[in-house]
Amino acid sequence: MSQLRPALVAVALTLTIATPAQAATDPVVTVENGRTQPVFSYADAVREHVYVESSVDSDADGKADRVRVDVIRPKESGPGLKVPVIIDESPYYDNSGRGNEGERKVYDAAGNVTKFPLFYDNYFVPRGYAVLNVDMLGTTRSDGCPDIGGKADVLGGKAVIDWLNGRAKAYRADGTPVVADWTTGKAAMIGKSYDGTLANAVAATGVEGLETIVPIAAISSWYKYQRSNGVIYNYDYASWLANYIDTDPEAKCQAVRDRMDAEDGDDTGDYNAFWAERDYISGLLGDASKVRASVFVVHTSNDLNVKPDNFSTWWQALAERNVPRKIWVGQYHHVDPFDFEGRRGVWVDTLHRWFDHWLHGVRNGIMTEPRADVQVGPTQWIRQRDWPAPFAAKVALRPAADGSLGLDRAAKGATATFADVAMEEEEMIADVGTAKPGRVAFTTGPLPLSLRLSGTPTAELRVKLDKPTANMTALLVDFGTATRLDWRRGQGITTLTEEDCHGESTAADDACYRKVVTNVAERPAEIVARGWIDVQNRSSLSSPSPLPAGTYGTVRWQTLPHDYTFRKGHRLALVIAGTDADYSSEQGTGANVTLDLSASNVSVPFAVGTPLADVPKDRTTFRGPERFELPEPEREFSFF
C-alpha cells in the first residue's frame, strides 16, 4: 500500500490542477485525455477592461500611450486560482472585424465587451484560460497612432505581457490602478494577418512570459510584405493602411503618416532603417535570436496578400535556433485554418493541445508528433517530420535556345532576349511556344511521373542590359488540365449557411460559425512559383549597384515558396519576363534584357514520387509517407 499511494497521488495530479486556497465546491482546472476540460461557466465569466501603460508616446501628446485590453476569464480566477492567458491583439476590432464573418466587439453600458470575436473565448475560458482582446495602439479604444509594424505596434503589445507579469502598470477607466493577480503570467499570442504579425513582433523582443505564439498568415518582415528584392508592390502603403485602421479624426495622426511616407524609400525600393525597424527576423527592435516562445506557424502557399516568403524565412530562422515549433502549410489564399475544409475540428483540437502543453504544462505528446501538416490537394493533407520535405532534392533546370527546359546546359553563346515592360501574368504564360517581346518561355516535355515541389526555387540568370537596371520576373508554371484548388475565387472557400459550434455560448456571444467548402476549378495551367527582383539590387537590398550597359552579370534570387505536385503527363515551364503588373505598381524600365542561356538555371526542390495517388481524399488524420522511392533508372532525373 505504501508503494501504491505515491502512484495514486501522481495520477490525481495529472487529472486536476488545483490550489490549496481553492474552495472544495469551486471548479478547478481539470485535465482528461491530455486536454483541459470545460468545467468553468462561460456565462458567469468575469468581463472587464483595463488600460495598460506602454513605454511609447506615438501621438506626441506628452503622455505615454495606453493600450485598451478587454478581458474575459473564469469567475473563480484570482489569487487563489491563477490562469494563463490567450491574447489576440488586433487593429481590426472596429473596422473590418475578425474572422470569415467579420465579427466586431460589442460592448455593454459599462464599456465591457459582451461579444468577443472568434471562438477563442467561447472555447478556452471554460477550460481554465483568460482570453484578452487587445486593441493595437492607435486603433479602436487604445491611445496613440499606428505605425505599421514599428515601435508603437511592437512595444504596445509587449507592455501587455509585462503587465501580466507585474512589470507594467494598468488602470481602470476611472484611473484606479489594477494588477493582474488572477494570472500565472504565462501568455500566448495568436491571430491571423496583422494580429499574427504582432505576435511575431512581440516574440522577437524576447519578452519574458510570452510562452508561445500562433502566427497565422502573418508578416515577419514588412519589407517582404511590400517589396521583393527592390521591386515595389505598392507605393505609400504604410500610410494608407495606418489611415484605414485608425478611426480617429485624420488630423490626429497625419504627422505620423507623413513621416512614414518620407521614410519608406519608395523612390528606390531599397531596404533602409524604416524597414529594419519592421523586420522581426533580423531587425532593430528584435530578431529571431531573441525568441523565447514556442511557435506554431500556419500559412498558405497561395497567400499573395501576406506572401509565403514571410513564413518560410521566419521558419528557417527559428529552425536554425532550435526554437520549439510546429507548422501547417495549406494551399488556400489568405485563409484562417478554422476555415480549411474538413480541418476545423482538427484545428481546434490541435490548438487546444498546443495551448494546454505550453500554458498549462500538460504532457499530451504534441511535441513528439510529426512537425508539419501539409496540404497536397484540395482536400488532401499529409503529415511529415518537417517542412520543406526533408527528402527534397534540388534539381537545376536549364533553358535552351529551342525553348526547351531540361537538365543539359545550353550551347555556349546561346541567348534569349526580352524587354522589361509591365505585363500581367496571364499574358506572360499565354502561348508559350510563341515569341513575345516581353517574355521568354521554356518548357519540359510531358512528365513521366509526378513531381512534388516542396520549398523555395531559386533562379540564377546571367544577363546583360542596355540600361542600368530592369525588373525581372521568374514564373514556374504547370501546364496540364486538372481540377485544382481555386484560391482566386473567394480566397479558395465558399461560406455555407450551416453552422457548427466550438465552445459555449451566451445570448450575446455564440460559439457557432458557418461551415465552408473548398472552391475548385478545372484549369489548363497553374502558376506555381513567382519571384521578382530589381537587377540593381542583385548584390544588396540596401546598396543598389546598376549593371553597366552591355556587361553580363549574374542575378540570383528566390521565388516564393510552395508545396505543389506537378502531375504525370503535365509540362513544367520557366517563364522569364519584366515587370509583373499583377503584383507591382512599378512601370517597366524598357530595358532590353539578354539571357546567357548556358549560364542560367532555376533550381527546384523536388520530393520525388506520387503523393496524390497515396493520400486519401476527405481525410484529415492520414499520416502520409515520408519517402517516395523511384525506380533505379529514374533516380538521376533523366526524364526531362
- State which H helix or E strand residue 295 sits in: strand 294-300
Neighbours of 241 (CB within 10 A): 19
| CA–CA dist 154, 225 (Å, integer) | 17
- CA 637 vs. chain centroid, Å, equals 33
Is residue 55 annotated as part of the catalytic site, yes or no? no
Which residues are CB-contacts of 559 (< 8 A; sequence separation ≥ 6)?
Answer: 456, 457, 458, 459, 474, 476, 529, 530, 531
- Annotated catalytic residue within 334, 352, 357, 360: 334
| CA–CA dist 375, 370 (Å, integer) | 14
The SS3 assignment for 548 reads: coil
- Nearest alpha-carbon partner for 553 in 445, 443, 461: 461
- State which H helix or E strand residue 526 sits in: strand 520-534
Q: Are strands 520-534 and 471-485 parallel, antiparallel or unpaired?
A: antiparallel
- Annotated catalytic residue within 58, 77, 193, 584: 193
Quick one: CA torsion of 237, 238, 244, 249, rounded to 10 degrees?
-130
| CA–CA dist 549, 56 (Å, integer) | 48
Complete DSSP assignment for 183-210: EEEEEEEEEETHHHHHHHHHHTTT-TTE
Complete DSSP assignment for 300-359: ETT-SSS-THHHHHHHHHHHHTT--EEEEEESSSS--GGGSTTTHHHHHHHHHHHHHHHH
- Annotated catalytic residue within 143, 303, 336, 478: 303
379 and 342 Cβ atoms separated by less than 8 Å = yes
Phi, psi angles (nearest 5°) of residue 184 = -75, -15
Determine the longest span between alpha carbons in the chain, in angstroms: 90
Q: Write out the three cell numbers for 597.
A: 542561356
552 and 522 Cβ atoms separated by less than 8 Å = no
378 and 518 Cβ atoms separated by less than 8 Å = yes
Peptide bond into 561 cis (omega under 30): no
CA distances from 219 to 398, 403, 428 (A): 33, 37, 28
Angle between the 254-263 and 237-245 helix axes, to the nearest 10 degrees? 160
Is residue 193 annotated as part of the catalytic site, yes or no? yes
Neighbours of 610 (CB within 10 A): 15
The SS3 assignment for 67 reads: strand
Which residues are CB-contacts of 288 (< 8 A; sequence separation ≥ 6)?
Answer: 204, 280, 281, 282, 314, 317, 318, 320, 321, 323
Q: Which sign, positive or negative, has the C-alpha torsion 626, 628, 632, 636?
A: negative
301 and 331 Cβ atoms separated by less than 8 Å = yes
- Nearest alpha-carbon partner for 487 in 340, 382, 327, 338: 340
Is residue 357 annotated as part of the catalytic site, yes or no? no
- Nearest alpha-carbon partner for 432 in 396, 376, 475, 398: 475
Residues with catalytic function: 193, 303, 334
